[in-house]
Amino acid sequence: MGASPDRRVKIQVKNLTKRFGDLLVLNNISFDVADGEFISIVGPTGCGKTTFLNTLTKLIPATEGSILIDGKEADPKTHNLAFVFQEPTCLPWRTVRDNVAFGMEVKGFPKDKLEERLEYILKLVGLSDCANLYPNQISASMVQRVAVARAFAVEPDLLLMDEPYGQLDVKLRYYLEDELIRLWETLKATVIFVTHNIEEAVYVAERILVLSNKPTTIKAEVHVDLPRPRSLVDPKFIEIRKKVTELIRWW
C-alpha cells in the first residue's frame, strides 16, 4: 500500500508480524506513510489495533518484520515518537504547562528552544490561560488536549493516536477533531490515527487503512480527497463513509 507518488516516504512498515505463542495477531502487514501524511486505521473491534500500535512504537517487540523511519529502524530513543493514549494520561503532579513540556524534557530539548516551543504550543492549543492548573482541576477533554499538545510538542517523526476521542461526547469530539486537523496543518506532523469510528476516520484522514479480523492484515485502502473543512453531510463524504463501512462489514 503506497503513499501518493509525489510525496517523500517517511515511514515504511515491512512484513510486520506479531505472534503471542501460537496466536497470530498481526499477519504480514506492510504499508508506507508519506512525510506529513494523516492516516486513519479502522477495523472491527478486537482486530488487534492496540497490538498494532504497541508494536509500531516498540512498546512490545515485533515477531518479524521491520519499521523504518527515514530508512532507519524505528527506535524510541533515536526517533521522536509520540503517542496519544486512549485514556487521557497526564502526570497528575505536573501542571498543564509542565505536562506539555514533559516530552521535550525527556527528549532533552535545549532549554531556550523548549521554552520557546512550549509557549508557542500552549498558545496554539489555547491552553495558556490554564497553564498553571493541575490535571485534577481541568475536565477530562482538556486533559486529552494536554496529551495531544505534549505529543505535538516533541516535533514527532511519527505521531500515533489510539482512539483519543473515543470516550468523549459528540460535540466535544467534533471540536477536538477540528483542533487536531488545525494542529496537524500548522505543525506538519506525520499522524497515524486509530479509531473504531468510521465517520471520525473519514473526517480527519487523507487515507484510511481498513484492517481485517484476526489475524490482522490490511484489507483495503481508501483515499479521502475531500477538501477541508469537511462536511459530514456532503454526499461524497457519505459515499466514502459507506464504502469504508461495507469494507469493515464484509470480511
Partner 1 sequence: MSNTIADEIVHHVKERQPLTIWSVLGNEYFLYCVSFISFLLIWHFIAAAGLLGLATPEATIKEMIRLMSVKLAGKNLFGHIWASSRRILIGFAIGAATGLPLGLFMALNRYVNAIVKPVFDLFKPMPPIAWISISILWFGIGEPSKVFIIVIGSFVPCVLNAYAGIRIIDPELYDVIRVLGGNRRQEIFYVSFPAALPALFAGIQISMSVAWTCVLAAELVSSRSGLGWIIIRGMKLTKPELVLGGMAVIAIVAWIFSAATSGIEKLLCPWKRGIKEL
Binding site for partner 1 (CB under 8 A): 57, 59, 75-83, 85, 87, 89, 91-95, 102-103, 105-107, 126, 128-130, 133-139, 141-142, 145, 154, 171-172, 175-176, 179
CB of 186 to partner 1, least distance (A): 17
Q: Based on CB atoms, which residue is closest to partner 1, 35 or 178?
A: 178
CB of 62 to partner 1, least distance (A): 15
Cell of residue 115, nine digits: 521554552
CB of 251 to partner 1, least distance (A): 30
Residue 91, helix vs strand vs coil: coil
CB of 136 to partner 1, least distance (A): 7
Cell of residue 145, nine digits: 488536549
Q: Based on CB atoms, which residue is closest to partner 1, 142 or 210?
A: 142
Distance CA 217, CA 38 (A): 20
Nearest in space to 164 (alpha carbons), one of 48, 50, 7: 50
DSSP codes, 186-220: HHT--EEEE-S-HHHHHHH-SEEEEE-SSSB-EEE
Q: Based on CB atoms, which residue is closest to partner 1, 174 or 237?
A: 174
Local structure of residue 60 (DSSP, 8 states)? S
Q: Extract long-range pairs of 227-236: CB within 8 Å, 24+ residues apart.
A: 228/181, 228/185, 229/178, 229/181, 230/202, 230/203, 232/199, 232/203
CB of 213 to partner 1, least distance (A): 26
Q: Based on CB atoms, which residue is closest to partner 1, 133 or 226?
A: 133
Nearest in space to 215 (alpha carbons), one of 54, 51, 55: 51
Helix (H) / strand (E) element for 23: namely: strand 23-34
CB of 93 to partner 1, least distance (A): 4
Q: Based on CB atoms, which residue is closest to partner 1, 229 or 235?
A: 229
Contacts of 139 (CB under 8 A, 6+ apart): none
CB of 138 to partner 1, least distance (A): 6
Contact by Cβ (8 Å): 87, 145: no
Q: Based on CB atoms, which residue is closest to partner 1, 33 or 224?
A: 33
Q: Based on CB atoms, which residue is closest to partner 1, 128 or 197?
A: 128
Quickly count: other Cβ atoms within 10 Å of residue 23's Cβ: 10
